[in-house]
A and B are shown apart, each in its own frame.
Chain A
Amino acid sequence: DQQVKQNSPSLSVQEGRISILNCDYTNSMFDYFLWYKKYPAEGPTFLISISSIKDKNEDGRFTVFLNKSAKHLSLHIVPSQPGDSAVYFCAASARFASQGGSEKLVFGKGTKLTVNP
């Protein structure tokens, strides 16, 4: 059973527009969420994270939104640039779960973003 779901395998946007990548999770004990970016033939690199006590975290062009009631988070990239073209992984952990959780990162399947010039 997949605990972290990225239902869109791919997304294509025009340069300068907003990219919105979505992620849903099923484990209510997840309390920390991260986004990773991966270029071909490279390892994933950390992009941005958010704790469950927040609903928004911003870092430059990247903003992550968390809706705990819907068990949904999204990554917004504004404005999108061709260099943003990559696979984006959503990941989650139950870092502060008292029992039954796992502090290890659980990854989604990824969404391939293509930003067209």
Chain B
Amino acid sequence: NAGVTQTPKFRVLKTGQSMTLLCAQDMNHEYMYWYRQDPGMGLRLIHYSVGEGTTAKGEVPDGYNVSRLKKQNFLLGLESAAPSQTSVYFCASSYSDFFRDGYTFGSGTRLTVV
């Protein structure tokens, strides 16, 4: 079982460049999430989706856009990257918002903006 797959695993961007991070899950989960992890900051929710075609803002949405055109995919876009967006990005999914068993996370994308 692949679970949650994130691509790419590593990326270096120059300030002002754009990119899209892809998250794919094969568990037929309805809910998907994008988090960022920064040293000493824990995991912070960027955007999330409660189903195909839906998106919503999380705690730190500024500078990011998302799309959920297909149930299995959740894309995170950076239109004009900034050094403050250097972080490790984690995608997660869950069957419902009642997370008795929690979220399933991907292995992360390490992004550096120079």
Binding site for B on A (CB under 8 A): 4, 6, 9, 32, 34, 36, 41-46, 49, 89, 91, 93, 95, 103-105, 107-110
Contacts and interface: CB of A to CB of B under 8 A. Distances in A.
B107 A109 contact: no
Contacts of A41: 107-108
Contact of A105 (B40, B41, B99): B99
Interface residues of B, number: 25
Contacts of A34: 99, 102
Contacts of A93: 99
A95 B97 contact: yes
Given A46-B101, A89-B42, 15 more contacts: A6-B42, A9-B40, A34-B99, A41-B108, A42-B108, A43-B105, A44-B43, A45-B105, A49-B101, A89-B43, A93-B99, A104-B48, A104-B97, A109-B42, A110-B42
Contacts of B98: 95
A91 B33 CA distance: 15
B101 A44 contact: no
Nearest to A104: B45
A109 B40 contact: yes
